């Protein structure tokens, strides 16, 4: 491509009131309303006492404005102004300015964030019923739990404190806030956010995990998970509270145990002939011998955990061992052991593969960080907590829109969904009093976009014509 020289003398003017840069917000927000987002907010979010009298007016309109801005790519309060550009006010009613939305978020308290969290869970259930979200949920469901540390800057951030995080494989202290999240996924469907809770940066990774797991299991059940539910987590969640919450809710668990004398003794009791190689998906075999190049092996033994509590739990201790490459010159092989505690009924090797897929929650974190959670924009803790919950609702909404678009978009990243579906430029026209949106000719994903449109607005009730 080459730009003609004449454009160097052109004059750009931002003055067209019939152009929009995010035409995809029309089917996406229609899907949100089809899943009852505004009704849920009206029923469950009630801000009675406010600093500014008008700040709590119309919470449904303001929260949907925030979610629409996030779907369009906003990652801070000022960026929410994107929903007021061009002809957006001709597409939507009740569009608010960023200053108004920021004041609204600052009126939130801890109780209000709990109300909004219940909206997020109920909206996820409705999205599952209104779209092809979480296919196969009736057969088997995986619930993953993990936390991350989002760095923040400035001295006015409530709750900001130094916590541990990994950068380039090294543990470092970083000042920030720590969201704890649970996700729901199936073997056929991409993960969605079941719940997210903001905590201080210094909070232990497992703080509040048991209640989060219980809420996620309940949400999965209401959404249609009538079969097996498996809860997965790393060593921060391998404690009695989390396991007890799984057992009480009738779900299976697969959590990493921190090594202690009892775990070490159980690993040492496994006979040498019990170890079997594990074939991970994508593993490489030696072309000469046909054996796996990876030296990972798995074995299991029965183990009783949490013996110091009133309710010890007996289940399988599955151990994966790999050669310690730093000690290859030792007389005998030196192994590094990675145990996890589970009541999963799959064979040993398959149980290990299933457990290691817990890393799928990192893809959700990557999407959130590449979108609304790039920043926690307010100085007030409760406002940031509400922002994080809105980010989770937005993630689930885009994921549901992707399932109604194409199989490729059903598992696409959030940035891809925004680029292909949401940020589509359009010109608004009304020939013969009929609304028409003129979109770019030869748009690469035009057919997918039309598929989403027709799936959202079915049965036909006279939506605007797409040209």
How do residues 92-119 score in pLDDT, each as one tens digit?
988 999 999 999 999 999 999 999 999 9
pTM of the model: 0.92
Confidence of residue 284 (pLDDT cuts 50, 70, 90): low
Sign of CA dihedral 280, 281, 282, 287: positive
DSSP of 305-364, one letter per residue?
Answer: E-TTSSS-EEEEEEEEEEE-GGGTTSSS--EEEEEEEE---S-HHHHHHHHHGGGGHHHH
**How many helices (H) does the chain have, and how many strands (E)?**
15, 15
Six-digit token pair at 264?
């070490």
Residues 184, 144: Cα–Cα separation, whole Å: 7
What is the reported pLDDT for 462? 43
Please give the DSSP secondary-structure letter assigned to residue 154.
S
Cα→Cα distances 13→16, 375, 429, 461, Å: 8, 31, 20, 37
How do residues 299-343 score in pLDDT, each as one tens digit?
999 999 999 999 999 999 999 998 776 666 666 677 889 999 999
Considering only CA atoms, which of 125, 158, 74, 217 is closest in space to residue 378?
158
Cα→Cα distances 48→45, 52, 65, Å: 10, 11, 21
What is the reported pLDDT for 461? 45
What is the reported pLDDT for 134? 95
How do residues 368-390 score in pLDDT, each as one tens digit?
999 999 999 999 999 999 999 99
* 362 burial type by CB count under 10 A (0-12 exposed, 13-18 middle, 19+ buried): middle
Q: Are 64 and 36 in contact (CB under 8 A)?
A: no
- The beta strands (E) that lie in 11-139 are given as 19-20
Q: Are 293 and 285 in contact (CB under 8 A)?
A: yes
Considering only CA atoms, which of 118, 252, 131 is closest in space to residue 190?
131
Query: Reduced to 3 states, what is the DSSP secondary structure of residue 301?
Result: strand
Q: Are 409 and 422 in contact (CB under 8 A)?
A: no
What is the reported pLDDT for 94? 86
DSSP of 205-248, one letter per residue?
Answer: TTTTHHHHHHHHHHHHHHHT--SEEEEEE-GGG-SHHHHHHHHH
Angle between the 381-403 and 59-71 helix axes, to the nearest 10 degrees?
60
Cα→Cα distances 261→75, 199, 266, 404, Å: 46, 32, 9, 51
* Residue 294 pLDDT > 50: yes
Residues in the chain: 467
- Residue given tokens 């929410």 in the structure block: 80
């Amino acid at each position: 491509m080459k730009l003609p020289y004449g454009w160097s003398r052109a004059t750009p003017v931002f003055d067209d009131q019939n152009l929009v840069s995010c035409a995809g917000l029309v089917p996406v927000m229609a899907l949100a309303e089809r899943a009852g987002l505004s009704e849920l907010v009206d029923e469950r979010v009630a801000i009675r006492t406010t600093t500014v009298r008008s700040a709590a007016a119309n919470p449904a309109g303001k929260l949907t404005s925030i979610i629409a801005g996030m779907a369009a790519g906003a990652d801070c309060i000022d960026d929410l102004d994107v929903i007021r550009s061009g002809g957006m006010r001709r597409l939507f009613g009740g569009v608010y300015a960023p200053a108004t939305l920021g004041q609204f978020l600052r009126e939130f308290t801890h109780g209000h964030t709990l109300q909004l969290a219940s909206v997020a869970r109920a909206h996820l259930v409705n999205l599952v019923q209104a779209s092809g979200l979480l296919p196969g949920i009736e057969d088997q469901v995986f619930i993953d739990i993990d936390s991350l540390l989002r760095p923040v800057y400035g001295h006015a951030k409530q709750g900001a404190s130094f916590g541990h995080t990994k950068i380039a494989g090294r543990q470092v202290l970083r000042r920030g806030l720590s969201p704890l999240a649970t996700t729901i996924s199936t073997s056929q469907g991409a993960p969605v956010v079941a719940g997210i809770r903001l905590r201080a940066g210094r909070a232990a990774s497992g703080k509040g995990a048991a209640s989060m797991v219980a809420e996620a299991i309940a949400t999965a059940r209401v959404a249609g998970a009538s079969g097996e539910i498996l809860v997965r987590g790393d060593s921060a969640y391998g404690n009695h509270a989390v396991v007890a919450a799984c057992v009480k809710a009738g779900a299976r668990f697969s959590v990493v145990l921190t090594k202690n004398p009892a775990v070490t003794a159980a690993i040492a009791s496994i006979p040498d002939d019990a170890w079997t190689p594990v074939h991970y998906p994508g593993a490489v075999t030696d072309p000469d011998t046909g054996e796996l190049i990876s030296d990972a092996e798995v074995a299991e033994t029965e183990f009783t955990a949490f013996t110091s509590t009133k309710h010890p739990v007996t289940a399988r201790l599955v151990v994966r061992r790999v050669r310690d490459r730093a000690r290859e010159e030792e007389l005998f092989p030196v192994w590094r052991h990675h145990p996890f505690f589970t009541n999963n009924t799959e064979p040993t090797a398959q149980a290990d593969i299933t457990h290691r897929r817990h890393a799928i929650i990192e893809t959700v974190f990557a999407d959130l960080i590449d979108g609304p959670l790039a920043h926690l924009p307010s100085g007030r803790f409760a406002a940031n907590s509400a922002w994080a919950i809105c980010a989770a609702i937005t993630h689930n909404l885009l994921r549901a829109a992707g399932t109604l678009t194409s199989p490729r978009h059903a598992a696409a990243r959030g940035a891809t969904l925004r680029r292909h579906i949401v940020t589509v430029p359009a010109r608004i026209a009304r020939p013969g009093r009929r609304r028409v949106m003129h979109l770019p000719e030869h748009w690469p994903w035009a057919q997918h976009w039309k598929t989403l449109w027709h799936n959202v607005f079915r049965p036909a009730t006279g939506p605007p014509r797409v040209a």
